[in-house]
Structure 1
Amino acid sequence: MSALIALVRKDLILYLSNRRALLISLLMPIVLGSFFGYLFGGSGAVSNGKIDIALVQLDNSGTSSKIAAGLKGDSALNVQELPLAVAQDKVRHGKLSVAVVLPAGFGAAAKNAFFGGHHKPEIPVYYDPSQAAVLAMVKGMLTQYVMQNVSAEMFDIKATDSYLNSSIETLQRNASQNPALLKMLSSIKEYQSRAVKKEENNKDEAQTKPEQAGLSVPYSTSDQALTSGLQKYNGYAHAFAGMSVQFILFMGIDAGIAVLLWRRMGLWNRLLAAPITLNTVLLARALSSAIIAFAILCVIFLFAMLVFHVQIAGSLAGFIGVGICFSLVTASFGLLIAAFGKTPEAARGLAMFSTLIMVMLGGAWVPTFLFPQWLQTFTLVVPTRWAVDGLDAMTWRGLGFDAALPAIAVQLGFTVLFGGTAIWKFRRDAQRE
């Protein structure tokens, strides 16, 4: 036991004396976790950025002016009125996401086409190909304001235009095509006529009438974020979980590469020549790596708690259990690299590639719910998926210890798989030597 403790102590001292390893293991996940946490919505105190779009106003009608005013007043948009050529250039160079053009005569054409009696006018929309999701959002907002303002003018009893009369006349010439629509428009015309007569009869009386608002979305939403904890969703919690997993795995790579360097320098054979068993050497290396990994995880989350108010809203025991099990996975992964790596250079390249794949599929960079369903199912065979999900469950999701048990069990399974395979390979090599 004293030999085991001495070997573990030696590994810890060597690691702490390596400033480069400390810098990579602690500073980089903190910086990247802060960045990705901000992108994921932060702690709720930071408002989401607006979508930058251009508006090219080529129509001077009142309808187009109201549509433009609606877009400018939308809290999700940052609208710049620009000439067409300038707007196209900014979108082309990626300085704006979308440019919307209200063409000349759009107001009149839209009202003529409102009831389907005339050709529908087109609104040119230019967009950055990398912002396809933003395009869909902007088109939805544009539809809302066009419908609201065009319908308001079409149903306004004080409207000076004769679009309703024109639509009725068009349908009367082709009454057999859509008699139901003709009946509806005639009823609207009759209602407007009665309203005008009533207003004329009561023109001496002071009346307050609500402003005609036109057609709009007939509902609103009450958005409520659901977690099991008392705290609101904190994007920094997921970001720091992902970055911790990534850079702790990098530390595991360094631990495995170190063993290969020991082999090259002859230190490995000297250790095996000492009065200690191979199992003791491997166990000491695994324990020291696991201790370092868990310490890194604790320091990173301590920073997240102090600076970004990340909280372990779920089970503290579950958080510790998930963290310890992932530390063991990291330690066994390092041994696996050392067991199968032929040279430090070749092993580092292969280990970095496999680690980045595991991190990507595990949801460390972006949440796995954004993946296609088949890919979400496939990532269940990746240990990092269980580590990230387990840390999420214990932090911002606020779940109990029972939610940590699957992540703990699966990670222990990967530890046995990686560690058992590494020990088998080390023993096989020792017998050959």
Structure 2
Amino acid sequence: MGAVMRAMALTLMRDRGALMMTFVLPPLLFVLFAAVFAGTGGESATIKVAAARASDAPSAEAFLAALARAPDVEVARVAPDAVAVKVADGSADVGLVVRGDVAAATATPPLLLVTDPARTVAAAILSARIQRLFTDELPGMAISRVAAQIEVLVGPFTPEQRTRLADSVARAPQLVKESGAELMARQSVARRQVEPAVSYYAGAIAMLFLLFSAVQGAASLVDERRSGVFDRIVMTRGGVAALVGGKLAFLVLQGLALSAVLFAVAQVVYGVHVVQHLGPFLAVAAAASAAAAGIALPLAAAARTRQQAQTLSTFAVLLLSAVGGSMVPRFLMPDWLQQAGNLTPTAWGIEAFQGALWRGDSLAALLPSLAILLAYAAAGGALTLWLIRRQVRLA
């Protein structure tokens, strides 16, 4: 037993890749996952707010200025009629219209939150931010506190004043309700009658399993090197380019088939509008599948053994999925992780699926996301070619 243990220890110590995957990657993944999930409650999330002022009251401008100074709120000032547009196209997490005097009792709530059903939690986070803002920077004085301060400054109240004050304090909820002093109201942008969370997670799960299926298919490179098939393929006409091109094309077709099955279930069971936007959906599915292949193939080409390829690929898939938004919507993450998510194909794939199936974007509107996904595919294919040609020269 001791000899077996010593042999295994020596094997592990001589394999730098195994050492890294055993002792370096797990704690790194833990740190990243902890950072991702620590922000899911919204406390550390920075939300993008499209804000507009539709009131001339001085308090309206003062309120928006104070909100813009909040460290966890990114305010973009727009015209009142543009707020719903910004929320609908996804450039803002939630909209805010200051339509009345926030320092006075009004017939209607002075603040209007414009929400996207796919991001209702953003409205809840903004509501909490606004309540905190009034508490910390724009504190409203409760009746009892105002009365107590006045009494200290000018002297005791008369018995009649004390009676009226006690009566007002006791009936404060009723008085507030009757005065129309509700602070916030909500309005949703128009959407189809589809559960927004289903639409989001259909794209999120699609990106997750496109990556997993791609790394499983790309791992055949390792088997082909060990069996000798690889050497025969690279010596044929087309050589390495034909090998990489064939695998890339197969992984794209495999991804299209996987997407078709997943989104067929989403349409039949939950009413996600896939057939109604078939052209944009197919374009996004093909580009996302190509991007997943562009991630998987270099990992397989760089690995020496199938086990090494599977471990490295699993780490990469979990990392890209967590940071890119497959597990938690990105706007709930800390700001630095939101920025890091922009570097992942997962984030762009989810955004493209959302645009095609939830917002109903045209192909022209989807072009930036599609271009980035295809850039991942092209870069991954080029890197795979370089790695394999390097291995052939070294052999």
TM-score (ref. length: structure 1): 0.51
Q: Which residue of structure 1 aligns with residue 317 of structure 2?
A: 355
Q: Of 359, 364, 380, which aligns to 1:402? A: 364
Cα deviation for residue 358 of structure 1 reads: 0.3
Cα deviation for residue 399 of structure 1 reads: 2.9
Q: Of 315, 331, 334, which aligns to 1:372? A: 334
Contact 1:313/1:395 (8 A) holds in 2 = no
Contact 2:151/2:157 (8 A) holds in 1 = no
**Helix, strand or coil at the partner of 2:342:** helix
Equivalents in 2 of 1:426, 1:295: separation in Å? Answer: 28
Counterpart residue type for residue 224 of structure 1:
Q
**Helix, strand or coil at the partner of 2:186:** coil
Q: Return 5+ residue gaps in structure 2 as ranges.
A: 1-123, 132-142
Q: Does 1:332 align with 2:294?
A: yes
CA 1:273–1:233: 2 relative to 1, 3 Å = same
CA 1:313–1:405: 2 relative to 1, 3 Å = farther
Q: Of 144, 169, 187, which aligns to 1:224? A: 187
Cα deviation for residue 212 of structure 1 reads: 8.7
CA 1:236–1:307: 2 relative to 1, 3 Å = same
Cα deviation for residue 297 of structure 1 reads: 0.7
Describe how 1:96-175 pairs up with structure 2 within 5 A. Answer: none
Describe how 1:268-417 pairs up with structure 2 within 5 A. Answer: 268-312=230-274, 315-417=277-379
Counterpart residue type for residue 329 of structure 2:
P
Q: Which residue of structure 1 aligns with residue 386 of structure 2?
A: 424
CA 1:362–1:175: 2 relative to 1, 3 Å = closer
**1:96-147 alpha-carbon deviations (Å, 9 max, x no partner):** xxxxxxxxxxxxxxxxxxxxxxxxxxxxxxxxxxxxx99x99xx9xxxxxxx
What is the root-mean-square deviation of aligned Cα atoms in Å? 3.8
Q: Which residue of structure 1 aligns with residue 153 of structure 2?
A: 178
Q: Which residue of structure 1 aligns with residue 205 of structure 2?
A: 243
Contact 1:314/1:400 (8 A) holds in 2 = no
Cα deviation for residue 384 of structure 1 reads: 0.8
Cα deviation for residue 313 of structure 1 reads: 9.5
Equivalents in 1 of 2:276, 2:336: separation in Å? Answer: 29
Q: Does 1:254 align with 2:216?
A: yes
Q: Which residue of structure 2 aligns with residue 200 of structure 1?
A: none
Cα deviation for residue 308 of structure 1 reads: 1.1
Please identify runs of 4+ aligned residues in structure 1 that moved more than 6 A: 190-193
**Helix, strand or coil at the partner of 2:299:** helix
Q: Return 5+ residue gaps in structure 1 as ranges.
A: 1-132, 141-150, 155-167, 194-209
CA 1:367–1:176: 2 relative to 1, 3 Å = closer
CA 1:390–1:175: 2 relative to 1, 3 Å = closer
Contact 1:231/1:313 (8 A) holds in 2 = no
Cα deviation for residue 188 of structure 1 reads: 6.5
**Helix, strand or coil at the partner of 2:157:** helix
Equivalents in 1 of 2:380, 2:388: separation in Å? Answer: 12
TM-score (ref. length: structure 2): 0.56
Indicate the structure (1 or 2) with the bigger Cα radius of gyration: 1
CA 1:363–1:211: 2 relative to 1, 3 Å = closer
Cα deviation for residue 233 of structure 1 reads: 4.8
Contact 2:218/2:247 (8 A) holds in 1 = no
Equivalents in 2 of 1:296, 1:281: separation in Å? Answer: 23
Cα deviation for residue 334 of structure 1 reads: 2.5
Equivalents in 2 of 1:190, 1:244: separation in Å? Answer: 64
Moved more, 310-319 or 252-261: 310-319
Contact 2:195/2:270 (8 A) holds in 1 = no
Equivalents in 2 of 1:186, 1:271: separation in Å? Answer: 100
Contact 2:324/2:341 (8 A) holds in 1 = yes
Cα deviation for residue 270 of structure 1 reads: 2.7
Equivalents in 2 of 1:212, 1:251: separation in Å? Answer: 58
Contact 2:194/2:272 (8 A) holds in 1 = no
Q: Of 246, 263, 283, which aligns to 2:225? A: 263
